[in-house]
Amino acid sequence: MLELCSMENSIFFRWLSVAFDRPLLYIDVLAGALSVVGWLVSWGLDVDGTFGLLLWLAPLAVLFTSVIVGAVYATILLVLGNMSRVVSAGVESATTRTAQPRIRFMGWETIEARLATTESGEGQTGSTPWITRVTFANDPEATSTGLTAYKVAGHIEFYDAARDRFLFGMVGQWSGSPEDGTTATGEKQIDILPDATPCHLDIALKYDEDDECYGINADTAVRAPTDLRDVQRKLVHGLYTIKIMVHGENVAETFWFGLINRGSGQRVRILRISS
């Protein structure tokens, strides 16, 4: 029984079922019978000449024509059917491939930074700086699972307002919540779940009394351990353009922002721009 089912599902069996479908099969049987009868009549009655040949050659020609038509029709139908399945599988595969994580810009904020302590355990002296950071989330359009964005890093490039001059670049720092601090918990790479959870990328650090602000990332504590003022990443009072490239194993997005440093007594602001 299993062998019979396997045969019925085989390509050859399906080809035969189409090639000798009922209308064609009736024609084949009738033409074959007429060919045999015509041959017997021409032989039994000793009919010679063209008429004798036509008695059995005409139905035989119909038989061969019917078989050829059925075979060609079945072959074409089988090939087109396979092509349709291949196309459908390709479309389904392409749809699956296009279901990707989608990193979206959610906003920006300025929070109070938590400075590191000295070796003696005392906190650093002076006023507390503020960190301006942008917020991203993984909010894919598809609802299927497996859309986590893995090993996501944020590469940040700083330009002048007109983008004519590149100032500096750095790998951004993903920071934690204000309760956890923002400099000690930073990571260069994180996995972002597809649940629209906010993920914060630090951009700049500024003291209220300063005219300047400074780019900040996970290396800042080493480059400027005393007060986090990294002079090689200093931005004086003015307007700047920021390019943030958020990328990982299965995600690549680019965002453009304007950074506004209004100087002393003001905190750094961020403005989203299209490109």
For the segment 97-130, what is each residue's pLDDT rounded down to a tens digit?
557 888 999 999 999 987 654 444 444 556 889 9
* pTM beyond 0.85, yes or no: no
In this predicted structure, what is the pLDDT of residue 179?
44
**Are residues 111 and 223 both part of a single domain?**
yes
Tell me which residue range forms the domain holding 15: 7-98
pLDDT at 7: 42
Contact indicator for 158, 242 with CB cutoff of 8 Å: yes
| Cα–Cα distance, 145 to 99 (Å, whole number) | 9
The structure tokens listed for 179 are 């309760």
Residues 267 and 142 occupy one common structural domain: yes
134, 261: one domain: yes
The reply to whether 111 and 237 lie within a common domain is: yes
The Cβ-side half-sphere exposure at 223, using a 13 Å CA radius, reads 16
Say whether both 230 and 154 belong to one domain.
yes
Domain count, the chain: 2
Vertex 97 angle, CA 93 and 101, to 5°: 155
Would you say residue 182 has pLDDT above 90? no
The pLDDT tens digits of the residues spanning 32-82 come to 676 666 666 666 666 666 666 565 567 667 666 766 666 666 677 666 665
Calculate what percentage of the chain has a pLDDT beyond 70: 57
Q: Name which of 177, 256, 183 is nearest 221 in CA terms.
A: 183
Per residue in 216-275, pLDDT tens? 999 999 999 989 999 999 999 999 999 999 999 889 999 999 999 999 999 999 999 976
Nearest to 174 by CA among 194, 192, 196, 147: 192
